[in-house]
Amino acid sequence: MTSGNLPISFMENQGQVDQSVLFLADTPGLLIYFTPDGEIFYAPSSGKISAVSVTYPGSNPGTIVKGSDLLTGKANFLYGQDSNAWVTNIPTYRGVTYENLYDGITLRYTGINNILEREFVVEPGADPDGIIMQYAGHERLSFNDLGGLVVSTSIGDLIEGAPVCYQMIDGERVNVACSYVIGESGTVSFSVGAYQKGLPLIIDPVLDFSTYYGGNSDDSGEGIALDDLGNVYFTGSTLSTNLPLPNAPVFQEHLNGTWDAFVAKFSPDGQTLIYATYLGGNSTDKATGITVIQNTSLPSGGRATICGYTESADFPLWNPYQPTKWNKTEVFVTRLNADGDGLIWSTYLGGNETEEARAIASRSGGAPVVVGYTSSGDFPRLGSGDPTSMDGLSGAPDAFIARFDNNGVLQTSLFLGGTGADYANGVALDAVDRIYITGQTDSLFFPTRSGYRMTPPGRINAFVTKLNAAGDTIIWSTYLGGSKDDFGMAIAVDLYNYTYVAGYTNSDPEAIELYPISPTAFQKTFGGGKYDGFVTKLNTDGKSLNYSTYLGGLLEDRIYGIKVDNLSEAYVTGFTISDNFPTKYADPPFHNARDGLVQDAFLTELNATGTGLLFSTYWGGTYYDEANDIAITPDGLNITITGFTESFNFPIHNAYQDYLAAFPPVRRTDAFVTKIVKVPPIADFDGVPTTGCSPLEVNFTDNSTSGPFPITSWLWDFGDGNTSPEQNPVHIYYNPDPVNATNFTVNLSVWNQDGMGFISKVNYTTVCPALIADFHTNKTEGCIDNATYNSVIRFFDDTTPAPVGRFWDFGDGTNSTAGPNVNHNYTQPGIYNVSLTAIGTCCNNTTTKYNLITIGQVPVADFNATPAKGFLPLFVQFNDNSSGNPTSWEWRFPLVEGTSTEQNPNHTYTLKDNYTVKLYACNFCGCSWANKTNYIKVGDPLIAGFTVNKTSGFAPLKVGFFNDTIGVPDIWFWDFGDGTNETRYDNATFVHIFEEEGEYNVTLNVSNFYGYDVSDPVTITVGERPTVYYIPG
């Protein structure tokens, strides 16, 4: 959490200021100029700061300074009447970034809720010790008690909150010890404790708003409220004679009695006291509550109504319902005008005994409802109650309910109580003005009805009562507490009419004392000490608890104020003396530990189920600090508390009054106002694509930004009933409408520890019906040069839904965008694939039909055969060589030999003859004959054979060869195996001489017109003739 109010935007300099400035930001009372070297903080008219500059010695000269997170709004500077001097349409950003200011270190400035936040991002391996901030234009640098940096000038101080350093480890924020270090000659650096250097480190100083308000004696803030512009209204009581007043008309400038009430109004940033006034007579006057009419744009808007009690007979009245003070202490109800310098109406309310107003709330039109207690039997009664006990005083005192109209006229005034003492301490209204009251009672017969506890469990019990809008009928009413003492101090109602009660108790949940604590409560056990705070949420019928929890530590803890936001998260405030009061996310400038010798104020936020804390901090200094009331905006982002403090070191920042004015210190108190602003993430995203046909796959990217705290969870609502918790989901859309496009609104909710950011992009994705391209034709075949069955094909688009355009691809190298129906003339025979691309408003879709179109012409029959001649039986393979894509065939081998309808048949001829072969080839365009006369020639087979007169002998060896072939060859080819051969044309016997010794395989190849045959080999063995030696004698 950080403090402030409205977003700061950063404008690019396009000539509206000096050219050395790159960007500028305008915050309340302060201009910030961003230059290439650093920043200049300049207050031209506020009188608080003249000019202070910050540069960064040793930074990279090439640092890129750029705007981050472009906003939709533009800025315009219209100087004078010369439009040529105007500077218009200037882009604005959520931040300014100094990229790589130092090696691995980036500086980011952002502005949310009037907080200027400076953040250093130290990447893994970079050294934060290298960050040096050189201040100039100041008088002195020092620290305040919270570790913040005080930059003092001759006319005021600039205070920068203590730095916060952290790392994200496994999705969890882990704090790192760090602080400022003031060096020589106006330099400031950081001292950073141990951290994981392999992960990024964030150094995050934060500025916030908290102020004293008071004078030279005791002052206490008792009630606080916000209007729809964020202005802060608070009231209380003062003994001071020098209460801070604005330089403007004031209704009552001086303290008139002992205690006077006061009313003050601050601007949203706490820097301007818009109005302040004393309110009282010559005795004691104390204010206890305040409410403000919302919608400040209306004439009655911004009018504050205050309640309290007075002992003064001359209390300021105007158009009073009761002009006379009867006796002792009486209630007052006063409405101021919007400027705070006059009364709209002001009245006493009471009888002859003591009464006090304790709380006030506004009905939907602004008319107030006041509750408190009275001991007067003659307290003004108006209306009749149900039950009738509301019509008169039952005990002493009784609670009362008083409804006024906007003119200060009393409409209802009734009692609420039993025979004992009954006090109303808190009041709240729901959206239809039904009235919810809490307080305490010791009555045995307090008027209960249809409630959670119908009989009193203890000595003093809290009570909760729900009345109708007229305030005269109890809808339900219950005791709330254990067997000891329980005090209901404040009450709130959420959007769903659940009731939240806060107070304090000393009843333990053990069986003997029976304080109602829910099983899943954040704190199930009594912390100890005198009292613990409690927060109890009742279901809408008042008969059961939704949750109930203690809130406290070992000593005394009291809750005085509660508010609930639109997420049903409860915010409570009060005081604690416990050192172990539960805290969460209370890093500086907030407090994890009690700071003083005595009690501190606290602020705690519970989740919607009461099972855990979302934030909790001590708030105070060394001495007494107590918070009495709390106000929040409905979204829970702005939280403002008021109370009183004795501490001279109460935590202040951007303070209107930065010192404790009460004198002497410690014994006197000032009021305080602290405004804390949660900084939830700013949700943003984009998706790609955003338009297409069903099914459409969209890749969503989270572009959300977050301030001091990282985003921890995401929830996407895609607008089609589906959600996702992923950061960057992929979603597939389906369009249920077969005809029309469907738009889907995409919502993104993101959370960090400070709350939720939400963005809704209306009709972000457009999903058209599934575009299904399809077509048909009037025919799928055609013939070239055939007037009866031509090659013109007509295509018909059957796409659903009807496309806005088409692209035809006819498969023959041509295309067309005509349609929905189109004719196409094919000029070449062939088989064609055809594609249609349908063009829709969101997408295209293509369908291709393969081998769809067959374009032919009358075929020209042709064929060949392998072999075309040979010995019987002759196996012949026929091959169709026809052109024109025939689809049927009739072969005649001739007819007497047989037929075939195959495209490539085979046939075996078994008789010697010359055969004529015919082929009849047809397609859808016609037929033609191929006739080959005497094409296949079949003859008797040859069987080669021979004999020899000898197969061996001595070289040279003469061998006689004798033809023994069967059949009638034309050629005899002899291969003698010795490297010689001979071709002969007759079958006469002949001789061959083998000259050398060896073995020779002799073969005979005989052939004629039809073919050939080779004989088996005959081996001839030739030996060497022996040598004979003759020896005489």
The answer, yes or no, to whether the previous bond of 589 is cis (omega within 30 of 0) is yes
Q: Phi first, then psi: what are they for 630, rounded to 5°?
A: -145, 145
What domain range includes position 758? 685-768
Contacts of 145 (CB under 8 A, 6+ apart): 621, 649, 651
Q: What was the pLDDT predicted at 79?
A: 64
Average pLDDT for 744-748: 96
Domain termination site, one of 912, 939, 966: 939
Q: What is the Rg, in whole angstroms, of the alpha carbon atoms belonging to the chain?
A: 52
Q: For residue 825, give the 3-state DSSP assignment.
A: strand
Q: Does the residue 1012 lie in any domain? A: yes
Q: Does the residue 796 lie in any domain? A: yes
Q: Phi first, then psi: what are they for 993, rounded to 5°?
A: -100, 125
Contact 93, 12 (CB under 8 A): yes
Domain identity same for 45 and 165: yes
205 has a pLDDT exceeding 50: no
Domain identity same for 830 and 912: no
Q: Does the residue 459 lie in any domain? A: no
171 has a pLDDT exceeding 70: no
Least confident of 343-352, 396-405, 543-552, 669-678: 669-678
Q: What was the pLDDT predicted at 226?
A: 94
Q: What was the pLDDT predicted at 143?
A: 84
Domain identity same for 761 and 782: no
Q: What was the pLDDT predicted at 666?
A: 63
166 has a pLDDT exceeding 80: no
Domain identity same for 24 and 118: yes
Domain identity same for 755 and 833: no
Q: Does the residue 821 lie in any domain? A: yes
Q: What was the pLDDT predicted at 149?
A: 85
Q: What was the pLDDT predicted at 950?
A: 93
Domain count, the chain: 5
89 has a pLDDT exceeding 60: yes
Cα–Cα dist 457/438, whole Å: 16
Distance of CA 788 to the CA centre of its chain: 68
Q: What was the pLDDT predicted at 206?
A: 39
Domain identity same for 691 and 715: yes
Q: Does the residue 462 lie in any domain? A: no
Cα–Cα dist 761/173, whole Å: 30
Distance of CA 100 to the CA centre of its chain: 27
Q: What was the pLDDT predicted at 239?
A: 94
Q: Average per-residue pLDDT in the chain? A: 89
Cα–Cα dist 252/400, whole Å: 30
Q: What was the pLDDT predicted at 604?
A: 95
Average pLDDT for 889-897: 90
Contact 419, 444 (CB under 8 A): yes
Q: Does the residue 327 lie in any domain? A: no
Average pLDDT for 455-472: 93
Domain identity same for 872 and 896: yes
Q: Each residue of 419-428: pLDDT tens digit?
A: 999 999 999 9
CATH of the domain at 974: 2.60.40.10
Domain identity same for 17 and 128: yes
740 has a pLDDT exceeding 60: yes
Domain termination site, one of 172, 189, 207: 207
Domain identity same for 737 and 801: no
Domain identity same for 920 and 981: no
CA neighbours within 13 Å on the CB side: how many for 981?
Answer: 11
Q: Does the residue 489 lie in any domain? A: no
Q: Does the residue 964 lie in any domain? A: yes
Q: What is the pTM of this model?
A: 0.61
667 has a pLDDT exceeding 70: yes
Contact 313, 327 (CB under 8 A): no
Domain identity same for 25 and 119: yes
Contact 425, 487 (CB under 8 A): yes
Cα–Cα dist 809/816, whole Å: 7
Average pLDDT for 696-725: 91
Domain termination site, one of 159, 180, 207: 207
- Tokens describing residue 58: 């040793």
Least confident of 74-83, 127-136, 713-722, 825-834: 74-83
Q: For residue 390, give the 3-state DSSP assignment.
A: helix
Contact 230, 298 (CB under 8 A): no
Residue type for position 438:
T
Average pLDDT for 556-585: 94
Domain identity same for 870 and 959: no
Cα–Cα dist 95/202, whole Å: 16
Q: Is 787 exposed, middle or buried (0-12, 13-18, 19+ CB in 10 A)?
A: exposed
Cα–Cα dist 493/464, whole Å: 12
How would you label 65-103 residue by residue, b for 16+ Cβ within 10 Å and e otherwise? Answer: bebebeeeeebeeeeeeeeeeebeebbbbbbbbbebbbe
